[in-house]
Structure 1
């Protein structure tokens, strides 16, 4: 005969397991289903974004390109596209993939979310610029249209992301940056950087390492099949054409750009020397830029390098009567002109 206590214990365990697996909204089965649907939605949204990117370039998207972009097999891609077609997001006509109006609206929403979040990361956080794109890729699927409107308002309704890509309006309108590749800029022609392509990551990392940012004045001095040589804000750079092609510029009306309009950064000012601020680097953004401005570090401000720490960093500077310690990486963001001794 079964012991009643054991029977109750076994029944309690069974009930507990059933509840653990099947409990509405919190059970393992429902969480797995939710995660699966979330993954499918994200894949569909990434596919829509990829198709839109190809359409903007005037190309026809393929199953192979989508599979490569999403890192899934072509068979999985085919199943995904069938679901997207059934949902009214795309049409497939004679093997060509095209976005429907609903598909384009969804793609615009994801692109808007991505670029607004990159702007947030640049202006309101301390994340390195090489991290912005990957972090935005993860966050772009989490916003509702209302949440994006709130984010845009908080950021001042920016028209472009930190790389110069246009941010779609709530209605899906895009304002192009109007630039052309640096490799197409005529020699000795003044221009301004308006876009830095952030994909692939390894190429963007090289542009960042070169210290290139939006708004910098540029002038190409040499172009060969092997290299592009150019000046940016007084510094000479040399890149392979494949890399330089990821820099977009707009020609300016200024007849000449001085090769060097300053003596470099504040980091090059030695103790005892005095310099005058000419500008803050375009790389100085968000909280860092606001802090410098609060300290009175503006064009025309006189700064005296007073004392360098035994380890060489930081350095104490006299700024508007106050002693301020700045690390070398911070001082590099402040462009100055040394005063004659």
Structure 2
């Protein structure tokens, strides 16, 4: 075993209760098959699956687009404020069980408004669940609205217009969906407008897209975080820049495996990122589809890459240091991690 643990079981127990934040979670991607069936029945929505087992069998993706096709299909069962509440509350319960103290979740309003669901319905359900998690679990949260990059910048502008009455509950904007062929440059103006409104900026870049997309996210969108960023490792100058700027990368190991970004979890670049001085974090992305919530992601790379106690603590510390909490909030959580590590 690496320094700090005497057994794999000891490491697993350490991960299980380690305070952590999750910074890369698509709330629609936490829709478990059981809830999908329940909501389909509640809303009288036909879905092309006869059973929960059929849904799980469909989760055999070879690339990002294969996943997105079923992801958008599953989203179609979400209609009412109650649906969005139930979806979000179910994720937050799972996150709490994984010792997650703070979440920064993505939602895709265009995937709902384009099928006639009001923007206000979506955000009311999500934020009510976030408020309840603060009361029940002491869990803090930030909400990040994503633009779908396979759609146009004009459509993103329209979505930002729809968000204006709700900016007291929206903390940032992001960019997700099909990466290849839709570079960050496509959305430079709408992200500039979002920045002028005081919103934090993040973007998916360097998952399937090239290192050039990461450069564009930094230089044109002026992001505060990079979501994924794996392919940054192909560009030594970019690695040096990300390290020098202290740019947080929200890495999603089981997602990378499921979408064939890596062929084997033992080949995951997370340890390489840490060794290069990059502020990598561990996140679950779309846990229902990719086979694991945040602790499962920690455990998978800890086992595959034989991570040390120091590595694991660094990843947890990075998750709070890279969050959009204020300095006092970050310091509180960092102190909790240090106390936990010292006592373990």
User: TM-score, structure 1 length as denominator?
Assistant: 0.25
Larger Rg: 1 or 2?
1
Q: Which has the higher contact order (CA 8 A, sep 6+)?
A: 2
User: TM-score, structure 2 length as denominator?
Assistant: 0.25
